[in-house]
Every structure is written in C-alpha cells, then in structure tokens.
Structure 1
Amino acid sequence: MPDRRPPAAGAQETGPANPWPALWALVLGFFMILVDSTIVSVATPAIMTSLGVGVDAVVWVTSAYLLAYAVPLLVTGRLGDRFGPRRVYLAGLAIFTLASLWCGLTGTIGELVAARVVQGLGAALMTPQTMAVITRTFPAESRGRAMSLWGAVAGVATLVGPILGGVLVDGLGWEWIFFINVPVGVVGFVLAVRLVPELPTHVRRFDLLGVALSAVGMFLLVFGIQEGQTYDWGTIAGPVSVWSLIVAGLVVMALFVVWQARNPGEPLVRLALFRDRNFSLANIVITTIGFTVTAMVFPILFYAQGVLGLSPTGSALLLVPMAVVSGGLAPFVGRWTDRMHPRVLAGIGLASWSVALMWLAAVMGPTTPIWELLLPIALLGVANGFVWSPVSSTATRNLPRADAGAGSGVYNTTRQVGAVLGSAAIAVLIASRLAAELPAAPGGGASETITKLPEALHAGFATAMAQSLLLPAGVALVGLVAALAFALPRHLARPGATASESVSSSAG
C-alpha cells in the first residue's frame, strides 16, 4: 500500500544517498524535449519542400507539438504524485522516443503532425517529474544547486535547438532532427531505470472533473493565443473566432478554479499552494521568463538573416555567447541560490535581461558589426544564468512533498503559457512594425523573404526588429518587480544562519 504520509516541508524523502546521478539521468530527457520545442523552426523550409506543403500546413508541425505539450501539464504533474515520478517519466520518455522515430519515417504532413502530437504528450508526461524528483530528494538547503542544473538545461536547450537543427538539416536531412532523439532516448531510458529511485505516492483519488475542465480550458486558451496570428485574430470557422476561443478558455479555467476550491475530495491542484507567497510570485516570474525567452529570439534571428545576411545556422550561432556564459554561470549561481536571498539573484538576472535587450535594440542597425552585437548577447547569458535556478528553487522549496508533482505541473504550465503568449505577441508586433517601417512591404511580406531582403530595406527592417525587442524587455521588468517581492526562504530564516544570511533575512 502506498505511503501517504509526506515528510515535513524541506525534508528529504527516502531515496538514494546521492541524488545527483538520478538528476543527471532525468535532465538528459528534459534537454531533449526542450530542444524539440525549437529545433523544427530551422527545418521548416526543408519539410515544406520535401512534403510539398505550404506555410499554413507546416506551421502545425510546431503548433501541434506545443499544444500537446502545454495543455496536459497540470494533469501530468499530478500523475507523478499518484503513480510515482519515475514510472510516469519512463512512460513519457518511451512515448516521446517512439514518436520521434515515427516523425522521421512519415511521408505526409498529416502523419507528421499526428506524430508530433504524440511526441508532445510524451514530453508533457516527462517535464513535471524532473522538478518533482528534485523537490522530493534534495533537502531545501542544497536544492538550489540541483535547480541550477535544471535551469541551465532549460536555458541552453532553447538555444541549442536552432543550431543543432541547422547542422542536421544541412548535413543529413530534416528527418534527422527526429531520428537523433532515438539513441538519446534509449540511453536516457536505461539511465533512468538504473538511477532514478521509486518514491512514495500520495494521492488516493483522481479529480476527473478537474482533469476535464483543465484540459478543455487550457486547449481553448493556448490554441486561441497560439493560432491568433495565423487567423489574423479573426474568424476560424463559421461563428467561431480566435477571441471567442480565448474567452471560452478563460471561462472554463475560471470554472476549474472554482471547482478546485470547492472539491470535497482531492483536487487536481490544491489552491492552498498559492498561499505560499514565493510559489505564487515564482509562477508570475517564470511566465515573464517564458515570454521573454521566446519573444526575443525571433527579432534577433530575423535581423541576423535579413540585414546581416547570415544563414539560418550562422544566425543561430550568433547566440553562442549567451549559451556559453549561461552555462558557465549556472554552477556558481546554484551554490549562491542555497545561501542568498532569491530576490538578489533573480533581480540581477531579470534586470540584466531588460538592459541587454534595450542595448541590442539601440545598436541593431543596417551596418552594425557583429562584435558589437556579441556584447549585449553575452549579457543575455548573464541574465539567463541568474534567473532559472533561484526562481525554480524558490517556487518549490516550501511545497509539501505530496504536492511536488502538482506544483511542478503548475510551474511548467505557466512557463509554457508565457512562451505561447510571447510567440503570439511578438508575431503581432513584428508584423505591425514592418508595416510601419516598410510600407512598401506591409505585414509579413518582408519576413517571408528575409534572406533575399534588398539592401534598400535593411534600415527599415533593422528598425522594426529593434523596436520589437522592447516588448520582451518590458515584460522582463514586470518579472523583476515580482522577483523583488520574494520572501526569505525558510531554510535561510532558521536559527544558525550565517552572518550573510542574517543580513539577507533582515532585508527580507
């Protein structure tokens, strides 16, 4: 019979004496699924040519994956609490790996989209379990270092996707962006079987009405936001419009919240989690981070290809300083996270993000040398390195162990919703600024041929991309305000804190 007595908050559950090997096994799969969120963008032209389809059809290769990934996260987080994170993670990894093989073998766009849906469902099963295992096996005072690894993987994976995609498409063909997942998935599965411990389960009953409401509400909301630009924020079919879907999604999600508050049994998400100040604030912050990370890449890459004349792979390599700096900082920030007030570290990261994007917007011009762009891009690496670990660990430090999966599901859901919002918002803004700066090629006309952009349009195009970067810069400032309101974590406020911690405590 499963153990339903969660240990006290901050305590470590029974597990391996050294939980690090288990974490390394889990983040291998986590890295793979995050890379798949961005890798397809580089392969899109090759897929269109190979399968003989247009833009309207091929966008679903990415959209279907992101929908299937984002919508079930609230549910899959709770599945880990009920059946154990190890079992759910292994099931998700098996599904993801087999679906990747299917993706590479498909011969029609319909098959590819269907395979991507299955792949997204596998990713949704895996993601919350990585954070849940950290929460349940690492004690609060050392969880920051573990979250630094999780955060570094999340940050670097978003940059590796376009680079790896360009190399594979140019060298082997678009199918290999999916085939590459198969050996990685097999290795990850073997490692997880050997290294990830079985953990106690806690949930007796499953909230089926909550599952239905969350799934329907998230689908309507995410689909409406994600596909709004595709349908010009107008009619989809008959009386159904983009805005009606978004409103319906908000209404259903409101009903979901009401049901969670009144459910006499065990709700899918206990609203009591949000009584923890840091958990609530961390979800706001990670939403802004998801928005910023997603939104900032498009103007930078479009500018690199349309104005600087770089290839897709070359434009992706422009972001290498960000990945290098971020990865180099992650171990240090992880150690600091366990000893310092999270508002300091997250504040440095979010402030750096806003400054770096405004700096980029100021220098992006038709004749800007590449070295001048690398400096603010390196500062983006500082931002990336400083936010993931403190925000992630702050969100989960005070969670009851029985709710580790549910809390991780909420956190990853808000991150994905932020990413969807960022993608939709930046698409609308780019189209608007192009129409204003390039009246001869309004809307998306210029963006469809950015690799052949005439030199006479370079100045206007650069201005439009620079102006677009101000949106994620502003959203990062919203995240900064929320991060500065973090309370001092309990493990730093306890008796015996060091002198530096006591100073932080008095400041908090």
Structure 2
Amino acid sequence: MKDRPTRNPWLVLLTLCLGQCLVLLDTTIVNVAIPSMTKDLSAQVDDILWVSSAYTLAYAVLLVNAGRLGDLYGQKPLFLGGVAVFTVASAVCGLAQTPGQLIVARVVQGVGAALLTPQSLSVISKIFEPERRGVALGVWGSVVGAAAAIGPTAGGLVIAVLDWRWIFFINLPLGALVFVLSMVVVPRLPGERRHSLDWLGTGLVTVGLFMVVYGLLEGEPHGWGRVLGPATAPELMAAGVLLLVLFVFVERGRQDREPLLPFEVLRDRNFTVMSLVVWALPCSLGAMLLLIMIYLQSALGMGAFTAGLTMATAPAISVFVSPISGRLIDRFGGKYVMIAGFALFAGGIGYFAVFARADASWWSLLPGLVIFGLGMGVAAAPPGAIAMRDVDPALSGAASGLFNMSRVGGQVVGGAVVGALLEAQLAARSVGLSPQTAADRAALADAVRVTYLFPVLALVVAVLVTTAARRPATVARVRVPEPQPTGTASE
C-alpha cells in the first residue's frame, strides 16, 4: 500500500532519531566495556582499538554510496535494511569468543549503520518545509549528540548488572522496535531522479581511508616498521593520503556521470564548511569518552557502573541545553552558536588535560564534566542544520551521505590518532591498561592527560574554520509554536 504524504513529520523525525540513537549508542557504549573485553577475550590494546575502529571504518566509507542507494531504491527500504543488518550483527557481536570474531561482527554492524544513517537526513530534508527544517535538523543533531554521550553511562549500568556482551544484546529489542516503527511511520518518498553508483570513487576512498587508519592503529605495536607486507606504517599512511587525493581528482572528472563527490553540493559554502569542521565533534567526543573511561576505571579504580554514572553528568546537562541551542540556530543561523559550543567543548576537555591525575576525586572532575556537557549540548545541533538547510532536496541523498562520511570519517581518523598517541604514551612510560601499583596508575593518568591535547587542538582548528560559514538563506524570521513531539527542542 502506498504511503500517505500527510504523515506527521515530527513522528517520522522521532522514529528516525531512535534509529540513529541505536547506531550511536553502540559507537560509544563499547568504550566502557574495554577493560572487561580485554580480560575476557585475552585481547591486546590494538585488538580492542580495532573493535571500535572496524565498526566506524566500515560505517564511514559506505555512507556516500548508501545515500546514493537511498536515492535509487528509496530511503525507507534502505533504512529498514540497515536496521535489520545492524540488529542481526549485534547478536553475533554478543556471541563472539575471540577478538577476531568480534572485529568481523563489528564490520557488519558498520555496514548496517551506514545503510540507515544517510536516509535520516535525506528524509528530514524532504518532509519538512524550509522554515521548519532548521529546527528539525537541530533536534536530530541534539538527539544524536546526546545518544553518543549517554553510551558510556548506559554501558556501565549494563556491565554492572549483567555482562559486557549485553551491550550488544540490548540492541535486539531496540532494533526490533525501530524496525516496526519504521514500517508504520516512515513514508516511502519518490526519488527525484535515477542514480548510478560510482564504484571507482568508492574503491579509492575505501582503500585510502583504510590504509590511513590501519597505519595509525598498527604503527605503534610494530614500532612504526612493517605492518602490511613490505610496507611500513608511515608508507602505508602516505599511500592512503595519495589515494584520497586521487579520489578528489577522479571525482572532478566525473561530475557529469553521477560522482560520489558531487561538486554541485560543495558550491554551497555552508555545506562545505560544515563538512570540513564536523569531523571535530565525533573526533573530540570519541577521544574524550575513550580516554575518560580508561582514566576513571584504570587510573582511579572505579567500577564500570560508577565510571558511567560519573560520566552521566555531561549528557544530563547537554539534554537541557540542546533545546536552547535549537532555538538559537533557527533564529541566528547557528554559526556563532557552533563557535560557542566548540569553545566550551575544548574548555571541558582541556580541564581534564590539566586535572586528570591519579589522586583526583570525582568531585574535582565535576567542573570539567559540566563545561564539557554545556559544549556538547550547544555544539551537537548546529552542523547538520547549517549544512543541510539550503541543499537542493534532489541532492539530499548524496549530500547527507557526504556529510555523514565526513562526520564518521572524523571519528575513524580521530580515534586512530588518539589510539596511536595513547599507545605511544603508555609505551614511553612502560605501563599498560591494567596498572598494578600507585606509580603505574600515576603513569597511566599522565599518558591520558597528554593525549587529551589532540582533541583540544582539533576543536581550536574547527573554531577557526567555522568563521568562514555564513548566515543560511532560509533562517526563520518568525516565532514558531511549541511544543513539538520529541520533547528535546521547540518547534
């Protein structure tokens, strides 16, 4: 039966947000399980880093083509397929008996996540009128940011009550709920035009990104020597960068043949700027969550639940701040809101770079968590709202895929850089993730504090780039009524 176009767009938005929460909770919830997984699976540091990176790598490199597939076959079928693949792969993750099995299952999870993610922004861009699109995209961004931050708290509770495997098993009922809601609520939207897939571009960006990430993750364990055949880690990374540059040149020559990288979208200055700076948010958030969970559990000796509860301060604050951010975006366009959010974000992480010591108490860390939560709540919504607001709906699939590839690519590369820096700092201090003495705990805390400097630097660069954004052409000039069904922002 054909879907009715009159369906409540806010109910559709709620369903899409739930699907995206499913993906992002699993992106960050793994961080709190690192000590448990390391012990249970007899894994090394680089094995555990791959458990996270394998997921985000598969997620990132398939996003643009998944957006194209949505344009070709419809957003609803791709969203449903992504939810199904993700849910089944979650069950396999929970049953894994070795690091290798878990890594392979996480790759499949990443495929499912890639299939569903670009469909969300594409559907939102099509079902909301321009004057409400900013608020809708702001709500989506706020929920996404909160979901990613809540992951460690939820994971700590699950591990304390059950076992690390249940951080994957809980996806089964959640995935089933999202699938059923999507069948009923999400409309089947007609495509604007037929699309073909750019296999050459896909191959170049996939292999290039893989080589960069593989070199970063495997470089330290192999002493930055040979990591793949005769190739050393720096050589592999350099080759990956060259392939990514080649990808851009190849796409330039394919602009009349359905390119993976449509330059027409990049002519929108705000879309281009946001696609460049959005990598800083997941990069910094992922780094913060990974490092703080290691620090709280390994350096301060907290249990998983206590560590997750401590971390809950930040997302709790962000939930209250996000609605304010959404209103400011709709009124002012989001540029200065985003700069303020980035600055707070950097301030919160910088606090930990100074005060995260082995003898710290949880209350001494509270100011950093408060500042971090404020930054999270303010900065989560603007990028998607600014990027997608003036994009032609006919290009929404490609634009959504490209924007999300940049966002998740930042998470992949940022996680790999943070992992490599942390491994180098741990090796320099001759300490592991399971310190036995007070001196070892102090050395671990020092290693974490130094590693925090990378996400701070990333956010400073993002602030500078964001100044190039301009006020969107469709910023709302009127007051719109409230409330709206999601309960996270006013309409």
Check the 8 A contact 2:9/2:128 in 1, yes or no.
Answer: yes
Aligned-residue Cα RMSD (Å) equals 2.5
Greater mean deviation of Cα atoms: 23-32 or 256-265 = 256-265
Check the 8 A contact 1:65/1:116 in 2, yes or no.
Answer: yes
Residue matched to 1:265 = 257
Identical positions, percent: 36
Structure-1 separation of matches of 2:140 and 2:461: 23
Check the 8 A contact 2:59/2:110 in 1, yes or no.
Answer: yes
3-state SS in 1 of match to 2:367: helix
Q: CA deviation at 1:222?
A: 3.4
Q: CA deviation at 1:367?
A: 3.7
Residue matched to 2:239 = 248
Structure-2 separation of matches of 1:215 and 1:432: 27
Greater mean deviation of Cα atoms: 200-209 or 56-65 = 56-65
Q: Does 1:341 align with 2:333?
A: yes
Q: Does 1:97 align with 2:87?
A: yes
Q: CA deviation at 1:109?
A: 4.3
Q: CA deviation at 1:275?
A: 1.5
Larger C-alpha radius of gyration, 1 or 2? 1
Q: Does 1:368 align with 2:353?
A: no
> C-alpha offsets along residues 86-137 of structure 1, whole Å, 9 cap, x if unaligned?
1111111111111222223344544433322211111111111111112222
Q: Does 1:331 align with 2:323?
A: yes
The equivalent position to 2:178 in structure 1, one of 183, 188, 195, is 188
Residue matched to 1:32 = 22
Q: CA deviation at 1:184?
A: 0.7
Residue matched to 2:145 = 155
Check the 8 A contact 1:288/1:476 in 2, yes or no.
Answer: yes
Q: Does 1:235 align with 2:218?
A: no
Amino acid across the alignment from 2:394: A
User: What does residue range 165-244 of structure 1 map to in structure 2 within 5 Å?
Assistant: 165-201=155-191, 202-244=193-235
Structure-1 separation of matches of 2:61 and 2:159: 29
Residue matched to 2:455 = 472
Check the 8 A contact 1:140/1:491 in 2, yes or no.
Answer: yes
What's the TM-score, normalizing by structure 2?
0.89
Structure-1 separation of matches of 2:115 and 2:323: 27
Change (3 A) 1:230 1:461: closer
Q: CA deviation at 1:365?
A: 3.6
Check the 8 A contact 2:60/2:412 in 1, yes or no.
Answer: no
How many residues are treated as equivalent by the alignment?
474
3-state SS in 1 of match to 2:474: helix
Extract unaligned runs of 5+ from structure 2. 480-491
Check the 8 A contact 1:31/1:157 in 2, yes or no.
Answer: yes
Extract unaligned runs of 5+ from structure 1. 1-13, 436-441, 499-508
3-state SS in 1 of match to 2:279: helix
Structure-1 separation of matches of 2:262 and 2:143: 28
Greater mean deviation of Cα atoms: 49-58 or 173-182 = 49-58
Structure-1 separation of matches of 2:76 and 2:352: 43
Residue matched to 1:438 = none
Q: CA deviation at 1:204?
A: 3.5
> C-alpha offsets along residues 195-241 of structure 1, whole Å, 9 cap, x if unaligned?
11111212333333333333333333333334444444331133122
Check the 8 A contact 2:433/2:444 in 1, yes or no.
Answer: no
3-state SS in 2 of match to 1:492: coil
Q: CA deviation at 1:457?
A: 5.0
Amino acid across the alignment from 2:406: T
Structure-1 separation of matches of 2:246 and 2:156: 44
Change (3 A) 1:308 1:44: closer
Structure-1 separation of matches of 2:230 and 2:421: 26
Structure-1 separation of matches of 2:323 and 2:461: 26
3-state SS in 2 of match to 1:399: coil
The equivalent position to 1:446 in structure 2, one of 431, 455, 459, is 431
User: What does residue range 44-443 of structure 1 map to in structure 2 within 5 Å?
Assistant: 44-51=34-41, 54-55=44-45, 57-201=47-191, 202-263=193-254, 264-434=256-426, 442-443=428-429
Structure-1 separation of matches of 2:450 and 2:48: 28
Residue matched to 1:484 = 467
3-state SS in 1 of match to 2:375: helix
Amino acid across the alignment from 2:244: M
Q: CA deviation at 1:351?
A: 1.1
Amino acid across the alignment from 2:24: L
Amino acid across the alignment from 2:273: L
Change (3 A) 1:364 1:174: closer
